[in-house]
Amino acid sequence: MSKSYKIAVFYYTQTQQLLNILKSLLAPLEAEGYKVIYKAIEPVVPFSFPWTSDRFYQAFPETRQEIVFENKEIDFSDVSDADLVIMGYQPWFLSPSIPFSSFLQQQTTQNYLNGKMVMTVVGSRNMWISAHDSVEWHFFKANCNWIGNIVLEDRHNNLVSVLTIFRWLIDGQKEASRYLPEAGVSQQDIDSLAALAPDLSYALENKDYKTLQTKIADKGFVAFHDNLYLIERTGYKMFGFWSKWILEKGPYMSEARKFRLTLFKYYLMAVIFVISPFGTLFFNLTYPLRKSSLQSVRNKYVYLHH
């Protein structure tokens, strides 16, 4: 059996979480002799980590409108013949992160992806659906074959993970504190991803990409929650209005838009802590009515039915 397969891995990560996820998946293949080439996506002006509250909200309008920021140039020459392209990304404000979205929109990337087999790996808090839709659109334009999608998330309750992610992103504390657990995807989930390596290997060696997503889903490596889906859909639309309204006041980091960003911040807190718990209650009460219509949505996201 030939092991000369080449996998190109493009990723952006601020905390290294996503790189750890990718390495867990790919280390067993590298050990078997697959050539795995990692290519970091790096913005020319980095988004420094941890964030300040101010910079965090300043990134919102451009993220939601997918405004392109300049990335350092990536050399594709040693991966032009890759058998598989893996793209690691994370949602920011329900859209693909600025560095990843910018990378996807670059003409060089679009040209590179043409005709390629592509798999995505997402490291999120728990809301990745709208970002996925946007990625689908960029992949469609690039004319590539999307063969698999892995989504790891923070499994804690939605409200708990909001608190811990702010502690992580803004205070830099990932570790558990007195009343709150560790932030992010658990180490156990990251480690367990290695169990998918044989399925990936099977798909590559047999050129059988059709069953890969079912295996990913059946092993529980794509997290989908009906109630969060509904909250996210509404949130994504509202973010569209907010981002345009804030952008009217000025570009990224401008002082002139600070007041509107502050209003957005309060809106976001109210949605998360006041409105979404009622949304979840409403969802639970009406679940029997929605169950069958949500099934096709679930198929789209979990089984990658386009």
Ligand X SMILES: Cc1cc2nc3c(=O)[nH]c(=O)nc-3n(C[C@H](O)[C@H](O)[C@H](O)COP(=O)(O)O)c2cc1C
100 binds ligand X (CB under 6 A): no
Q: Shortest approach of ligand X to residue 44 CB, angstroms?
A: 17
Q: Shortest approach of ligand X to residue 252 CB, angstroms?
A: 13
Site for ligand X in 43-62 (CB under 6 A): 56, 59
Report how far residue 221's alpha carbon sits from residue 218's, in angstroms, rounded to the nearest whole number.
8
Report how far residue 11's alpha carbon sits from residue 27's, in angstroms, rounded to the nearest whole number.
16
Main-chain phi, psi angles of 48, to 5 degrees: -70, 150
Q: Judged by CB, which is closer to ligand X: 13, or 213?
A: 13
163 binds ligand X (CB under 6 A): no
17 binds ligand X (CB under 6 A): yes
Report how far residue 57's alpha carbon sits from residue 142's, in angstroms, rounded to the nearest whole number.
30
92 binds ligand X (CB under 6 A): yes
Q: Judged by CB, which is closer to ligand X: 124, or 227?
A: 124
Binds ligand X by CB under 6 A, chosen from 10, 112, 128, 224:
128
> Given the rule CB under 6 A, which of 72-80, 120-128, 216-224, 290-298 is the region that contacts ligand X?
120-128
Check: CB of residue 221 under 8 Å from CB of residue 152.
yes
Q: Judged by CB, which is closer to ligand X: 4, or 188?
A: 188
Q: Judged by CB, which is closer to ligand X: 17, or 149?
A: 17
Q: Shortest approach of ligand X to residue 153 CB, angstroms?
A: 7
Binds ligand X by CB under 6 A, chosen from 7, 8, 18, 193:
18
Q: Judged by CB, which is closer to ligand X: 94, or 304?
A: 94
Give the footprint of ligand X on this chain (CB under 6 A): 13-15, 17-18, 56, 59, 90-94, 123-128, 165, 169
